[in-house]
């Protein structure tokens, strides 16, 4: 799990190793300073007792040594902090970049597995948790044990009985802290999970804010948000409540130990069995050992809290893209012919029923083929297999005579342009959006594509023309205008196969006919597959495929189908009789 994250340390490995090293430097100084101070006290005490003669140079020597140690400790501390924060911030930066790059390699099937909200939480909150835990660990996880070991060794050398006393206290403290943290961690874990739901609400509501407003569902959405934030609140309060007991208990244990140390240490001094300076050393070491225990516990707490986050990040990084290029991919698509051979397909491998069953047909390069069928009859599913957005369950699909699984995916998708049913444009100008199809397109080519897609007219009416900003998701144009821009974007790819998935549903029938006529004239060699609800949109196609519940139930020209396919005839008649004048025309 952690292994999946380590490549993201690149560029910060040196700092990651340096941080604990300088922190060890600081820890050693923290041991040396009380030691020198204790010796100074002992020396002064001896002088007072007349056992030694006081020499200023001696005092200065002690003072100088302490000053030097303090400075070195400060330096190590500052450097440690700086290294740790740089390394952890860099680690987080790389993690986010790596996760984002990984997500770009996901197939549709992979994306269906994670929800968008969950991916957002993983990229934000989870990375921040991991960053904090990482920083804490490289600063404390080595420093605290080193301090603990040194302080223990020194203490035992001074006085075994007293040292044993506060080591016992440290063990008690360790147990108390561990119990509290074991109780708290599950609450924090649940809290992080609740963040997922919170993000889901925020993301869904904000992306669909227009729908929310038009259905006057604001108060319902606010309630949903209240619930989501309430849950995060509930668990963080539960956790904090228990944590609140921790600090006072720690304080009591530490103070009690100090009092006992002073009491027994004082008695030993009076009896002449311990020097004052040595007691001062023991007091410092005792404090260090106890705070060391707390530090280690806190670190472990951070680690266990962030474990969930690390797991969730690793899941993103370890996800195997369900589609990948073959070892020796074909990089050229010869022509726009398409051949389905007994294709079965389901979105999930364990699904009982296939979404597509036994699909067999072939299209010659340059043909125009219509696809008609009721909603949910798997028309979109059928065409999404052509650019290999999903892999077939059995059977095969050939494009240009080669199995789609043998192509380099980029090469294949560059030749198969799909105008998706759910069209998406991006914020930016019209020409920027069209250049998605081909970033090197000239202005002339862009104008031509727009004209073929019957978009020039409305673009001409906008004062800014092609520089007009579409707003996020292309909100600044109408549904039909958006569809035409999406068609133009696909045309700019200069594909060998062009697929329209209900792409002219929001366009009036006259414009729809103009688009088809334009394509026929200007791109005769391109294979055109047109999914439509209106028979009029596919009527003149070379062939029409009729779909029903994932199966092909009819295939032929308009005239043939009127004779052979009941479903087709019914749809046609309902549209004609339904008063669709354009269909009649
Ligand atoms: N990403 C997906 N994951 C799981 N099931 C899906 C997915 N997309 C579609 N389906 C299911 O596959 C079936 C066919 O859907 P598809 O979108 O291909 O139908 P369609 O013919 O394009 O319908 P419409 O005319 O409404 O666009 C439906 O039952 C649908 O629930
Ligand atoms: Mg569809």
Specify the pLDDT at position 564.
93
Q: Write down the domain spans for the chain.
A: 2-318, 338-584
Distance between CA atoms of 342 and 349, rounded to whole angstroms?
17
Specify the pLDDT at position 415.
94
Residue with tokens 């334009």: 518
User: What is the residue-averaged pLDDT of the chain?
Assistant: 90
Q: What's the whole-number mean pLDDT along residues 495-502?
A: 93
Q: Pull the structure tokens for residue 525.
A: 């060699």
User: Ligand 2 being an ion, which residues bring their Cβ within 5 A of it?
Assistant: 380, 421
Q: Indicate if ligand 1 lies below 6 Å from the C-beta of 373.
A: yes
Range of 92-106, 136-150, 425-439 with top mean pLDDT: 92-106
Q: Indicate if ligand 1 lies below 6 Å from the C-beta of 456.
A: no
Residue with tokens 């699904």: 351
Q: Summarize pLDDT for 346-393 with one digit per residue, the tens.
A: 998 888 899 999 999 999 999 999 999 988 999 999 999 999 999 999
Q: What's the whole-number mean pLDDT along residues 38-56?
A: 89
Q: Is the pLDDT of residue 220 over 70?
A: yes
Q: Pull the structure tokens for residue 57.
A: 């140079």
Q: Is the pLDDT of residue 583 over 50?
A: no
Q: Indicate if ligand 1 lies below 6 Å from the C-beta of 25.
A: no
Task: Please provide the CATH number assigned to the domain covering 338-584.
Answer: 3.40.50.300
Q: pLDDT-derived band of residue 125, with 50, 70 and 90 as boundaries?
A: confident
Q: Indicate if ligand 1 lies below 6 Å from the C-beta of 379.
A: yes
Q: Is the pLDDT of residue 78 over 70?
A: yes
Identify the weakest region by mean pLDDT among 59-73, 385-399, 449-463, 468-482. Answer: 468-482
Which ligand is closest to the CA of 376, given by its number?
1
Q: Indicate if ligand 1 lies below 6 Å from the C-beta of 527.
A: no
Q: pLDDT-derived band of residue 263, with 50, 70 and 90 as boundaries?
A: very high
End-to-end CA distance of the chain: 64
Q: Is the pLDDT of residue 101 over 80?
A: yes
Fold of 2-318: ABC transporter transmembrane region fold (1.20.1560)
Ligand 1, closest atom to CA 421?
27
Q: pLDDT-derived band of residue 579, with 50, 70 and 90 as boundaries?
A: low
Q: Indicate if ligand 1 lies below 6 Å from the C-beta of 351.
A: no
Contact 534, 509 (CB under 8 A): yes
> 378 alpha carbon to ligand 1 midpoint, in Å?
5
Q: Is the pLDDT of residue 581 over 60?
A: no
Specify the pLDDT at position 578.
60
Q: Is the pLDDT of residue 109 over 90?
A: no
Alpha-carbon dihedral 43, 46, 47, 52, rounded to 10 degrees: -90
Distance between CA atoms of 451 and 444, rounded to whole angstroms?
11
Q: What percent of the chain has pLDDT over 90?
A: 58
The better pLDDT of the pair 429, 475 is held by: 429
């Amino acid at each position: 799990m952690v292994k999946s994250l380590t490549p993201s340390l690149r560029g910060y490995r040196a700092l990651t190793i340096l941080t604990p090293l300088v922190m060890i430097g600081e820890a050693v100084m923290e041991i040396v300073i009380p030691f020198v101070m204790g010796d100074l006290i002992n020396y002064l005490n001896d002088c007072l007792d007349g056992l030694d003669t006081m020499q200023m140079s001696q005092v200065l020597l002690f003072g100088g040594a302490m000053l030097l140690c303090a400075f070195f400790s400060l330096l190590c501390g500052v450097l440690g902090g700086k290294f740790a924060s740089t390394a952890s911030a860099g680690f987080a930066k790389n993690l986010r970049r790596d996760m984002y790059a990984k997500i770009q390699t996901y197939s549709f099937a992979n994306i269906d597995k994670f929800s968008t909200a969950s991916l957002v939480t993983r990229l934000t909150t989870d990375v921040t948790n991991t960053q904090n835990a990482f920083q804490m660990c490289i600063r404390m996880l080595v420093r605290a044990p080193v301090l603990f070991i040194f302080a223990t060794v020194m203490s035992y050398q001074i006085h075994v009985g007293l040292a044993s006393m506060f080591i016992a206290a440290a063990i008690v403290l360790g147990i108390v802290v561990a119990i509290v943290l074991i109780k708290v961690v599950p609450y924090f874990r649940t809290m992080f999970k609740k963040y997922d739901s919170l993000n889901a609400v925020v993301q869904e509501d904000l992306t669909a804010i227009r729908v929310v407003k038009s259905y006057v569902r604001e108060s319902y959405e606010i309630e949903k948000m209240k619930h989501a934030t309430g849950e995060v609140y509930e668990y963080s309060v539960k956790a904090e409540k228990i944590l609140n007991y921790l600090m006072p208990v720690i304080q009591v244990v530490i103070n009690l130990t100090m009092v006992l140390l002073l009491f027994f240490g004082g008695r030993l001094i009076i009896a002449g069995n311990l020097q004052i300076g040595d007691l001062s050393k023991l007091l410092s070491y005792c404090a260090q050992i106890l705070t060391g225990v707390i530090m280690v516990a806190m670190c472990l707490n951070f680690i266990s809290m962030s474990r969930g986050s690390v797991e969730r990040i690793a899941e993103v990084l370890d996800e195997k893209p369900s589609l990948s290029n073959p070892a020796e991919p074909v990089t050229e698509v010869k022509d726009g012919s398409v051949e389905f051979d007994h294709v079965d397909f389901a979105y999930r491998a364990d699904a009982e029923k296939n979404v597509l069953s036994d699909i067999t047909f072939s299209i010659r390069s340059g043909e125009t083929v219509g696809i008609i069928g009721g909603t949910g009859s798997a028309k979109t599913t059928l065409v999404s297999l052509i650019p290999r957005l999903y892999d077939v369950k059995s059977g095969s699909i050939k494009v240009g005579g080669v199995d789609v699984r043998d192509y380099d995916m980029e090469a294949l998708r560059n030749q198969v342009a799909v105008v998706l049913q759910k069209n998406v444009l991006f914020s930016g100008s019209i020409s920027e959006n069209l250049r998605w199809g081909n970033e090197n397109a000239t202005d002339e080519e862009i104008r031509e594509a727009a004209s073929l897609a019957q978009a020039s007219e409305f673009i001409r009416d906008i004062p800014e023309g092609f520089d007009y900003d579409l707003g996020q998701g292309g909100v600044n144009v109408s549904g039909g205008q958006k569809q035409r821009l999406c068609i133009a974007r696909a045309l700019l790819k200069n594909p060998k196969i062009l697929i329209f998935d209900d792409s002219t549903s929001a366009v009036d029938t006259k414009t729809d006919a103009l688009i088809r006529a334009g394509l026929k004239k200007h791109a005769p060699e391109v294979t055109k597959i047109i999914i439509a609800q209106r028979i009029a949109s596919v009527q003149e196609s070379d062939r029409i495929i009729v779909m029903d519940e994932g199966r092909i139930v009819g295939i032929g020209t308009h005239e043939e189908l009127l004779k052979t396919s009941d479903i087709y005839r019914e749809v046609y008649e309902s549209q004609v009789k339904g008063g669709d004048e354009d269909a009649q025309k």
